[in-house]
Structure 1
Amino acid sequence: MALFAEKLVEEWLSRQGYFTIRGTKVGVHEIDLLAIRPTTDGIECRNTEVQASVIPVSYVTKAPKEVQLKTGRAVSSAKTRDDDELREGVREWVTKKFDHPKKEKLRRLLAPGNWSREWVINAVRHQRKIELLRETDITIRRLPSIVAELKGRDFLLDGAAGTPLADLVLLLPRQLCAMPNPSLQGTLGLANNSAISHTW
């Protein structure tokens, strides 16, 4: 699922004229998507991470390391966290995902300048962490909005390497919802277009 989502986001960026690198290895770490585009004002640079779980994620960041040590709480514990724990978890997540020194060095080598920090999400159960991320300079984007743009927006390019996947994603709701057997639609959760569009 994550790989498909990354390819869709890469297609969205490519159609806007960005040159992209997906799945960049940085030691034991990875950057989902790096994208650059020449403009009249210089090079526009974007670092995009993608989280695309179909099932709503309880917490998109891990329990803070200090809390793990003090309480023995598991890294991905779904136990309710107070605001201080949420803030610290967000800080650690941003550092790991975007601000790791090796990642910053690689971005500088690829294209000196300011890189945007963007996070594409699908289904998240607890919205407070999203609110805290918005307090930083992380731009939050929704995967369903990106898919909708691929369907209805005019882009610089008509398509790129991810076009077959994008076409399939956009075709499935129409084709499956056109099935003549309503019981089969219900079994697949496709009684209307909202099922798939919500999932994506």
Structure 2
Amino acid sequence: MQDAADALLALGAEALQLTPGNAPSHDFVEGLRRRGVPVRTHHGFDARALRRPVWSPSAECLVDADSVHPPRDVDPASAPWRQRAESGAFHALTLETMYPGYALGTGDALTWAMDLGLKLAVDVSHLHIQRTSGVLSGAVWRRLQDYPLIDEVHLSANPGDRDAHHPLQPDTFGLEWARARCADGTPLILECYLHRLSDDARKTQWALCRDTT
């Protein structure tokens, strides 16, 4: 965790999203905060483990994170999750827009979430998968662009058939809109796999986020 954080901060990152999967480092989050680094936690992040469960079978959220994925359609939590959402149980959570196979993975599900007034973390790469799968209409995408309850925007590229976390290109779907939301104060989180890139390529990704290429 510490090595990854140091590499990103050396590039000029203004803040870090802490996600599951990195090998634990002692005193990690506390050390970042002592250095004045703003952090947001995501999904099953745990500073002491690779990951932790997010949903119980009865759809109780088991983590205290700034944003979480909703459950997969095959998860035991799937049916009770929808019922709990409709009862107002998740209005304090920020739920990420997903792709087919997950709750919030279709345009109909996003319409349902907006009608309920749920807070969203909009992952534009996931929306690209929805579009290429034929489950996200232009009308729903336009409504989502103006939705007031967006707490985060997540940004990466993919070929439309999987969540590949590829580097951004100038024509990446949703990039221009993501920049505009960032300019309005919404946190913009770059989620491409930077560890696979050279330092120069990493700097290009930063420039694309900021529209300074």
TM-score by length of 1: 0.30
More helix by share: 1
Higher relative contact order (CA 8 A, sep 6+): 1
- Which protein has the larger Cα radius of gyration, Structure 1 or Structure 2? 1
Q: Give the strand-richer structure, 1 or 2.
A: 1
